[in-house]
Every structure is written in C-alpha cells, then in structure tokens.
Amino acid sequence: MKFIKNIFDSVRPNFEKGGKLEKYWPVLDGFETLMFVPGHATSKGSHIRDGIDLKRTMVTVILALLPCLLFGMYNTGYQHFVAVGQEATFMEMFLYGALKVLPIVIVSYGVGLGIEFLFCIKNGHSIQEGFLVSGMLIPLIMPVEVPLWMVAVATAFAVVFGKEVFGGTGMNILNPALTARAFLFFAYPTKMSGNSVWVSTDGIQTVDGFTGATALGNAVEQGMAGIPPYMDAIIGTIPGSIGETSVLACILGAILLIYSGIGSWRVMLSMLIGGYVMGMLFNAWGANSYMEIPAHHQLMLGGFFFGMVFMATDPVSASQTNTGKWIYGFFCGLLGIMIRVFNPAYPEGIMMAILFMNVMAPMIDHYVIQGNINKRLKRVKAVA
Amino acid sequence: MAKNIKISRGVDIKLVGKAEQKLDAIDSATIAIKPTDFHGLIPKLEVKQGDEVKAGSPLFYDKNNNNIKFVSPVSGEVAEVVRGAKRRILEVRVLADKETKFETYDVSGVASLDGRGMAELLQKSGQWSFIKQRPFDVVANPNNKPKSIFVSAFDSSPLAPDYNYILKEKGAELQAGIDALAKLTDGAVNVVTRGDKGVFGNLKNCTIHSIAGPHPVGNVGVQIHHIDTLNKGETIWSVNPQDLAAIGSFLKTGKVQSKRVVALTGAEVKSPQYFEVTLGASTEKLVLGKVNEGARIISGNVLTGDKLENSGYLGYYHHQVTAIREDHEPAFMGWLAPGLDNLSLSRTFFSWLMPNKKYNLGTAIHGEERAFVMTGEYEQVFPFDIYPVQLLKSILVNDIEQMENLGIYEVAPEDFALCEFGCTSKINSQEIVRNGLDLIQKELS
C-alpha cells in the first residue's frame, strides 16, 4: 500500500501544473483515485458523509453482473459443445466460453475507457466512473460470434454519441450500452440477428437438427413449439446474447441491486408487471402462435430479465421521480413484449422499448413534476 | 387543532459520544457575537473598541431594520471588533466582568402589551434576534405578519441535546415566552413534541402537536410542511425552545438571560456531558482538556454546524458543540473494502449487518464530487412533498420561477443536510439551497 502510494507521490510532480505531463493529469488522477479513495475532508456543509461514492456504486453493479458474466461464459461453452455434438466437462465448457467472452470484455473496456480518458484529457476533467458499468454491459448483450472490431466500433459510438456529446456521465439521455447494441443492430444486422451468430461453432460441423437460432427467433416461426422448456429458459442454457440468457443469474443480480439500494425496485417491478400484462393481452388475443406463448413463459425469454434488471434501471437514463419510475418501467415491459411479438424483424424488442422509454423518461418526469407544481399553485390560490 | 403526525422518510444517524445528563458551569472570559450567524444581516455597530457595555446593551443593529438590536450577553468592555475581507464585521468580542451588570428594561406592563408593543420591546432588548422566519431561514422581519409560529420542542439531529432535560425546570419561563409569541401572530403558536412531552406538555396558550419519525423530524421546516404548509407570500416564524425560555425569563425580570446549556458531544470528547455557558462564549475552556488533540470542533451538530478554529466562539443559535475525528487519510481501494466502519444509507457496505452500531465517523468525504447520477436517494431522507433534486437543479441554473414552483420557500439549507450526507455524488446541497434563497431574496428586495 505504502509502496503504491510512494509511486504516485514520486510521479505526481510531472503531472501537476507546470509539469511535463500536465495535460495528462486526469489519467494520473483516474488511476490514483482508483487505488486510493482520496483523503479529502469536508470543508463546508455536512461534516460527516456517507461512505458511498460513485466508484463503490459502480463496483456494486459490476458485482451484480458477475453471475450473468460467469453463466454467460459457461453457456457459451455449453452451447458450443451441444452444437458440435461433443462431450465436455463443466470446466471445459467454462474455459471455452471464457476464452470467447474475455476478449470482448477487454475490447469493450479498452476502447471505452480509452475514449473516456481522451475526452477527460481534452476537457481537463477528472475521470468519471460511468463507463465501468457500461463496459461490462456491452459484452453481455453481444452475440458471442460478434467480430471484435465491431465491438470496438459500437463501444466508440456509444461512448461518443451516447454519452460524451451530452456532457459525460450523468448527462446522457440514452443508455450507452443499449446504444452500442442498437448501433450494431442497425449497422450490421447480419451479425446481430439470424441463426449463425448466437452459438460459437468454430467452423466445426454441427449436429443434425441444430439451428443456432434464439428462442425468440424460433418463436416467430413456430410459436410455443419452437421455444425452449420453461426451466431451461430460467436457468439459461439456451442460445442468446452472452449474458442475457439466464433469468436466474439476472435475479441474483437483482437481489444485490435492490438490497444494496442501488437499483430501483420500482422500475424492475413495474417492468415485470408491464411485460406480464402485455403477455396476458396477447394470450387473450391469440391471433398467432407467437401470441399464444403463456405470459409467464414469454417473460423468461430473450433479454427481458437482463434489460429489466440492468438496463431499464440505469438511474441516468430512466425516469428520476418515483412516480415516473412506475410509469417508465411499466411501459418498458409493455412495449418490449409488444415490439417483440408484432415485429419479427426486431426479436429483441426489449432493447427498442428501453431506448424508446429512455427518450420518453424526461417527459414522464416533466408531467410528474408538473403535478407537484400544480398542487402547490392550487394551495396558493386557495389561500389568496 | 393538535395533530398527530408520523413521518417515515429520514434517518437517525447513530454516533458515538452522546452527552451524559450531567451539568457543569463554565465561565468564559470573552464572548463574541458573530453577525455572520444571522444570515444576510448587514450590521451597523453601536459600540467601538474599549466601550463599556452592560448585559443587554446593544452592540449593533440591522441596517435594513434599525429597530432590531443585537445586544451584549454580558457586561464588560468591547475588546475587539474583528473584521474580514472588505471590512465585513465577523465578530464583536466582549471581555466579561466578574460581576454581570444588567441593562434593565421596563417589563411591568408586559401582560397588557399588544402585538406591536411586544415586538418593539423584544426588538430593542435584543430578544427579537431569537425569532427566525421561514422562508429564507433568517431573523424574522417584524413587518410581516406570520400565519403561525413554531417551536420545535426537540432536536433530532445527531447527538442533539435533550431539551426536556435542559428545560425541565423552566416551565414558567417557557410559558411566558409562549404568551409573548401568541401576541405576535393571529394564528396558532405550535409546539411540536416527539415522544415524551416533558415540560412542554403543560404549556397553555399554544397548540401542542406530536410528531414521530427519524431525523429531520425535529427541523421546523419539516414540521411546518406537515402541520401548516407555507405558501408563497406567507411567513412563519420559529424559536428554539431554549431561546424561548430566555425570552420568557427576560419578560419576567427585565434582564437578558444569556445562560445557555450546551451539550458537548462527539467521539473525540473524553466524557460528553452538558455545560452551562454564556451565549456566544469562547469555546476555549469548554474544549480544553475535554476534547482530544487535533479533533474537529463544530459549533452545532455534525450535519449543519460550523467548524470552529482552535478557540472559536459558540454560534448564536447553537446548543451543542461536537468534536469528531479529522480524517485526511486516503483509503486504499476504499470502493472495494468491506467498510464496517463506514455508515451508509445504501447497503453497499457491510455495516448494514449492525443496525444498532454507533459510529465514530470522521470528516472524510469518501469520494469526489460528481454529476447527479443516482436517483431516489434524496427522497429517502427528505420528508417533504417536494422534488429535492429537481429543486437543486433549478437553483443551479438560477431559474427563480421554477424554484418557486418546486417549493423553495418551504425549505432551508438544514432540511437538505441529510441529502448532502447521503449523496453518492457528494454534492453540497446545503450551499446550493442557501444560494437559491439568497438569489430570491435579492430579487424580491
């Protein structure tokens, strides 16, 4: 500890005003504050402060994402060995998946943090922590066969146009991770949908009957007959984006987020309700076989849970008022299922729904707050 | 009508160093009245260095309202007028006599005084300075007619003094104070109690409310919001109970009552207890030998108090001195450590395993200032029907209309203290609220 501190102390003069590397102060500051929470004492306002800071918040979210990441690694291997019809042990599957997934994670963090640093150096700001979570979310919503350069391009797009153009962490309108995915979805549709990207086969001949399609892809064509059994969908041993398949892993993350107070249970619950209501409506309608998938089964498929727990709850792009969160979450769920069923070209309706509601969130908040304002104005009138 | 209210949002911060119910007296050689304690006041001096004053003689008055006097709590010699930048008066120090000589005011006809007469008496005797007003959280403007007056009979802030203990024998003085306040308003005098009503339960000529819940339930702002909500254009006044007893005592004797009981609290105090001191007393003797070396001395509580330098003077409205650990140590990987000694409103530290633990918190910020990221955090500790973050943002962009719409008149900086404590982004919201109130006050005047 002391030793690390000494290193920082010895290089700091170079980065301070007048030093050779003055411009790169944010880089040093970023690393130093990552190693040591700075020993600043309060000088105004409350003399004592909560132990939490943005770094801790972000690290908690990353911890909540770990079950999804680890399961995603395992599932990547599992899907591979099932597809090529080979026997493999748990460790083999996990290692195979880890080797596939880790490069994506590294590229995402490397590119994203690199760009953040560049912006901070240019603006002379200290590094903000927002990307710590985005950098983990992006790999988890990619198909495993996505080329690394696409991850890099998408991450760059998300950081620059999803976040930095609005002013950086805390200022963005859209969820950066979903922006990355939406960018790829529209720019390189062949690599983001279809049957060939979800399972890594390494070019090995696949077994008979293997399609590689996701549950939602199958559902469009075959309805109930095409989707995996309920328990498989909950555990997550189905093809899909790396981290999204396991409902169980998402629930583990949700428990940590809700218990620690970081993720909004209001958004999660209302989104669940919204999705369920839409599913029930479709069940009642039953115009095609897709609509007949039971609502509770429908919700277990695709990225619904992952989106609900980790994407819709992003505090910056979600509604900020508590009432607004209920409305926002409800429509995320409702629209997500609606888009998914109505438009087979967008099997991942959740992404669209959340991005759309991100745009709507400020308006929801506006009306919620206007309600509060009107109440106050009415009281003044009543007095006058 | 007496109300029974329960609020749920807020938090009682449990700290080490609660004052034991034991009272000693300390005489200070010097006292100081600090014009800076009266926010927004432009003082005009009535004395100069070397003048002899009696207890109750004016030291300075309010430039905007010449009748509001600020008097010396002791008799003695004006030792020094401390000035800061632009010759702003920071402190008027008085060297106290051994025997206090009093300026006596005629209080024979107090019972028959009307509101105006009472206000004049209180203003010229310096007692008016104890009456504060909402909006703006400043000394009350006697030209306004308050719709009601509030006395919060308890303090819910961390390690706060217990007024039931301090005032247990002051029933008559409190009653005299209440009777005086009742003359100043056409509305009610609201006394708000929590739990044991103690000496306040017997008061007449006022409405006694009960309120329950965690801090900031003791803030008058919260009580006003739930009992008699303040609207634009209205004013409500408030008085601290100990100051109210002092006003009552003055009205009974004609002499200013400048003794206050303060709680010396905090983890750095060797044996926390109560002390009787003079208003504006030097904290030198209070601290000497009783507080560990190097501690931060705060006049007031840890959330809203003022940091005192080595030998500062007690704040005019403070009934508590807190000493906590100065903390400048960088924390290695602090964002990952289990953090058993860190109190957090979130459950990201394992300290939530010990809900009844009393903390020894230092002055560390535990992070750096960031943009607003988390939402719903302030609302947990902000028992108002107001959107706190949106209000702060409207202040940051100087949008006065929006501030009014969002209810800035109903709040004071102290109401945001817990938001500031719990903020992930380490935003100094008390300062922001004060800036907003200042801006509006400037625009209105």
Question: Are A29 and A61 within one domain?
Answer: no
Residue with tokens 């908040």: A365
> Of B253, B274, B300, which closes a domain?
B253
Q: Is residue B378 part of a domain?
A: yes
Contact check, Cβ <8 Å, A56/B335: yes
**How far is Cα of residue A25 from the mean position of the Cα atoms in its chain?**
30
Question: Are A291 and A148 within one domain?
Answer: yes
The residue among A12 and B249 whose pLDDT is bigger is B249
Nearest CA in chain A to B364: A41
Question: Are B379 and B248 within one domain?
Answer: no
Contact check, Cβ <8 Å, B374/A315: yes
* Beta strand B30-33 pairing with B89-96: antiparallel
- Model confidence at A3: pLDDT above 80: no
Contact check, Cβ <8 Å, A52/B373: no
Question: Are A236 and A281 within one domain?
Answer: yes
pLDDT band at A208 (very low <50, low <70, confident <90, very high): confident
CATH code of the domain covering residue B225:
3.40.50
Distance separating alpha carbons of residues A287 and A290, to the nearest angstrom? 8
> Of B253, B283, B306, which closes a domain?
B253
- Model confidence at B241: pLDDT above 90: yes
pLDDT at A384: 66
Contact check, Cβ <8 Å, A46/B302: yes
Q: Is residue A45 part of a domain?
A: no
- Mean pLDDT, residues A113-136 taken together: 87
Question: Are B137 and B11 within one domain?
Answer: yes
Question: Are B121 and B243 within one domain?
Answer: yes
Domains in chain B: how many in total? 2
- What is the total residue count of chain B? 445
Question: Are A11 and A119 within one domain?
Answer: no
- Determine the 3-state secondary structure of A277 from DSSP: helix
Q: Is residue B17 part of a domain?
A: yes
Distance separating alpha carbons of residues A191 and A196, to the nearest angstrom? 8
* Beta strand B207-212 pairing with B4-6: parallel
Q: What is the pTM of this model?
A: 0.92
Range of the domain at A312: 54-201+216-370
| Cross-strand pairs, B212 | B6
pLDDT band at A215 (very low <50, low <70, confident <90, very high): confident
Q: Which of A29-43, A88-102, A305-319 has the lowest mean pLDDT?
A: A29-43
Q: Is residue B275 part of a domain?
A: no
Model confidence pLDDT, tens digit, residues B23-74: 999 988 899 999 999 999 999 999 999 999 999 999 999 999 999 999 999 9
- Model confidence at B349: pLDDT above 90: no
Q: Which of A286-300, B397-411, B414-428 has the lowest mean pLDDT?
A: A286-300
Distance separating alpha carbons of residues A41 and A48, to the nearest angstrom? 9
Question: Are A80 and A128 within one domain?
Answer: yes
Q: Is residue A148 part of a domain?
A: yes
Distance separating alpha carbons of residues B84 and A105, to the nearest angstrom? 57
For B332, the closest of A36, A53, A54 (CB atoms) is A36
Q: Is residue A383 part of a domain?
A: no
Question: Are A158 and A301 within one domain?
Answer: yes
Instruction: Give the max Cα distance, chain B.
Output: 68
3-state helix, strand, coil in chain A (%, to 5): 65, 0, 30
Question: Are A100 and A177 within one domain?
Answer: yes
- Model confidence at A1: pLDDT above 70: no
For B428, the closest of A45, A52, A321 (CB atoms) is A45
Q: Is residue A317 part of a domain?
A: yes
How high is the mean pLDDT of chain A? 88
Question: Are A305 and A270 within one domain?
Answer: yes
Distance separating alpha carbons of residues B152 and B223, to the nearest angstrom? 8
pLDDT at A221: 74
Q: Is residue B349 part of a domain?
A: no
Interface test with A, best of B8, B304, B360, B374 (most A CBs within 10 A): B374
Domains in chain A: how many in total? 2
A:B CB pairs within 8 Å: 219
Q: Is residue A210 part of a domain?
A: no
> Of B253, B283, B305, which closes a domain?
B253
Question: Are A252 and A196 within one domain?
Answer: yes
Residues in chain B within 8 Å Cβ distance of A261: 345-348
- Model confidence at A261: pLDDT above 80: yes
Range of the domain at B420: 365-444
Question: Are A7 and A66 within one domain?
Answer: no
* Beta strand B58-62 pairing with B43-45: antiparallel
Contact check, Cβ <8 Å, B348/A41: no
Question: Are A312 and A177 within one domain?
Answer: yes
ipTM of the complex as predicted: 0.89
Residues in chain B within 8 Å Cβ distance of A369: 387, 390, 406
Query: Cβ-count burial of B184 within 10 angstroms (0-12 exposed, 13-18 middle, 19+ buried)?
Result: buried
Q: Is residue A59 part of a domain?
A: yes
Q: Is residue B374 part of a domain?
A: yes
Q: Is residue B268 part of a domain?
A: no
Residues in chain A within 8 Å Cβ distance of B326: 41
Contact check, Cβ <8 Å, B296/A47: yes
CATH code of the domain covering residue A86:
1.10.3430
How high is the mean pLDDT of chain B? 91
Min Cα separation B307/chain A (Å): 8
For A262, the closest of B348, B422, B429 (CB atoms) is B348
The two structure tokens encoding residue B2: 């007496």
Query: Cβ-count burial of A355 within 10 angstroms (0-12 exposed, 13-18 middle, 19+ buried)?
Result: buried
Q: Is residue A43 part of a domain?
A: no
- Mean pLDDT, residues B226-242 taken together: 93
The two structure tokens encoding residue A112: 């994203």
Model confidence pLDDT, tens digit, residues A140-154: 999 998 999 999 999
Q: Is residue A47 part of a domain?
A: no
Min Cα separation A366/chain B (Å): 10
The two structure tokens encoding residue B375: 């939402």
Distance separating alpha carbons of residues A314 and A176, to the nearest angstrom? 10
Which residues have C-beta within 8 Å of that of residue A156, sequence separation ≥ 6?
A111, A112, A115
Model confidence pLDDT, tens digit, residues B260-316: 999 999 999 999 999 999 999 999 888 888 999 889 999 999 999 999 876 789 999
Q: Is residue B62 part of a domain?
A: no
Nearest CA in chain B to A322: B376
Min Cα separation A88/chain B (Å): 36
Question: Are A31 and A100 within one domain?
Answer: no
